[in-house]
Structure 1
Amino acid sequence: MTAPTPHRRTPLALAALTVAAACTLPAAPAFALDAVAPAAIVAAPATLASAAPALADSPAAVLAATPWETTGAIDQDGAPVALDHPAVANFVGWAYYNPTGNFTMYNLDDTPKMQGDWEVAADGSTRTITARDADGAPLFTRVVPITVLTADEFTYRVIPDASVPDVYYDIIHTPTTHQEPGTVSPAAVLAATPWETTGAIDQDGAPVALDHPAVANFVGWAYYNPTGTFTMYNLDDTPKMQGDWEVAADGSTRTITARDADGAPLFTRVVPITVLTADEFTYRVIPDASVPDVYYDIIHTPTTHQEPGTGLPGEGGEDGENPGDGAGTPGTPGTETPGTETPGGGEGQGTETPGNAGGAGAGQTPDSPATESATTGQNGASPKNEALAVTGGSAPVAGGIAAALTALSGGALLALRKLRRSA
């Protein structure tokens, strides 16, 4: 057999070295597959979601996507109609359409209106509701034509007299973030935000200046901790008092017990609550219990004012001892008699009580609002950083591969030189 020529030996030798080099490499594709697996899992829902637009774009899904607030009404001529007009007042309030086909409605003062079942025609032309009592028995069914149904507006038409269809009213609703009444306890509502005293009215509804002697003692910043403690400050950030608080399960009263720096009780005050929503907290003070017809309603609204002395936002004033941080000069404990009047409640348009009302029992520690934390990876690292750590973790393998390739390349060059010499 004829011996291979030099130029044929070289490719054969290099091919052998290349195969040998390949055999020494780690099975990198397996690591690469593991590395991309999480991305594949994350991407899976997107595949499922791709089938959702038809459902998401349906008229029923649009209606169920948000709570709605009645914000306007117009007549057949396009003229605005007041929401307390007898022809439209019955249709005003908060509406919550559950995607499962149930609904609950409330008046704007959060009193219950009705509950039942709902549906929207496939072409979005009508909305049908069947109101039900607490036992689920049907009370009535109402079908109204829809004139607008988008993510920004839901308007339907009511015709008071079917024999006169040219006279009608369009009831306009817009999306709201208003929490459904009864789904959060009154205590949790109070603890959800710090409060600032922003107004006061007397028994006749007339505004009262915040420096008026009858109300000045109740003005300030108030921070209601979800754990059941509170701190209060004057509007100049000087301390007022600290202690414990609770709200009756039905939201009718708020009770505070002021405590000194050692935790000893100073006084307890119970006041009737007249308004408690995410947007307003108002309680009533009666200077003289023997004259209950003379009173003042102290109005508070949410604030982002940081709790003095903490540098942090608070959890939700009045008079009393200085807060537990010991800062400032103690105030003078109040002497007024706790109010005894039952807070007034607005009359609802309906008499049915939605089935999801609830709240913490009287005297219980206020509910603690749920808090979400950012998702973290192993050892407290964020998913992003964890992903970076996984990517960086393959660096030693890459370094080994590079070193092996360098060594093999050098060996290949030496073998090539020997072959050329022998030729």
Structure 2
Amino acid sequence: MQISEVRQYFPILDQEVNGHPLVYLDSAATSQKPVPVIEALEQYYREYNANVHRGVHTLGMRATGQYEGAREKVRQFINAAQAEEIIFTRGTTTSLNTVAASFGRANLQEGDEIVITYMEHHSNLIPWQQLAKEKKAVLKYITLQADGTIDLDDARKTITANTKIVSIMHVSNVLGTINPIKELTAIAHQNGAIMVVDGAQSAPHMKIDVQALDCDFFAFSAHKMCGPTGIGVLYGKKDLLENMEPVEFGGEMIDFVGLHESTWKELPWKFEAGTPIIAGAIGLGAAIDFLNEIGPDEILAYEHRLAAYALEKLSSVEGLTMYGPEKAEQRAGVITFNVEKVHPHDVATVLDAEGIAIRAGHHCCQPLMKCLQVSATARASFYLYNTEQDIDRLVAGLVKTKEYFTNVF
């Protein structure tokens, strides 16, 4: 499939909002869903809705086949070594909390270090913050350069022999920065630490190879990559997962249950308590099929072209400040900005009146906002269904926003 053909598969984009054709620029929050994903979900509920791993009847067997087939699609999508390394969760947040609650609690001692960065989403900050308090560990931060990138020399100074866990987002949901995960993983391993990667903003946009990255854990969500909400993935190296305890109990994760003792099933099922998110996994499998038809390299190249075009066009808007790397190839399709003397929420409100959907706020990154010395920002995020015409609409909307507040105030 050519990327120029993609937009027709997203029916939600073919509508008007407030009397204007919709321009959706909030894919970093959640992406829109293509027809094949919508149809896959509908087909499950219409034709073979049943629980998995339990019944021997036809519907149950078909549902199980599709559910486990989705697991294999995920394995191939991120190039995990084995399907047992793919755990279905409720999303990136649940995946990261699982690592903190299971691996972290079992392996951290008082005085051990956890290293993250100032750009982390709260989902990759608060679990480590709470774990550090519980275990009396030390939470440390790698500093950011002025352009929102990480300097590897700073990482080498921050990650020490006392560091046990390094957890860093692959792509910043605010700055768009693509972090050097492979190099950071090598530094972590040289110091005897494990590497956890928040892949929520990278899995939808670029080729992921967890074996090449050599990360120990990788977390991402379906809803940011054309899939349904409520389903995500935790990848973990098999030897680590096998030595971790589950954090939820009951249902299909058990092997034997006695009155006072129980044992757990093998991977991956020991981490999937209760009825799993069957429809969500099937929808994620359909989303992977859709993205594979285009190709992750083509998606990233297209987003780089959009980002370059947007950086150029937005730089012409007087009084607009952009954050993050100046070069498009250093970032994903995310541009965060502020308009002089106009609050980001007011910017988003005026743009919405023009049919343009962007994000405004702290983007679940309050420590990063403090680093940027702002309370909030506006954010436009692009995906494979966006066009240069969408960016032109954004620029025109921002010019109109400035004119409106200049005239009013």
TM class by shorter chain equals under 0.3
Q: TM-score, normalised by structure 2?
A: 0.24
Higher share in strand: 1
Larger relative contact order (CA 8 Å, sep ≥ 6):
2
Larger CA Rg, structure 1 vs 2:
1
Q: TM-score, normalised by structure 1?
A: 0.24
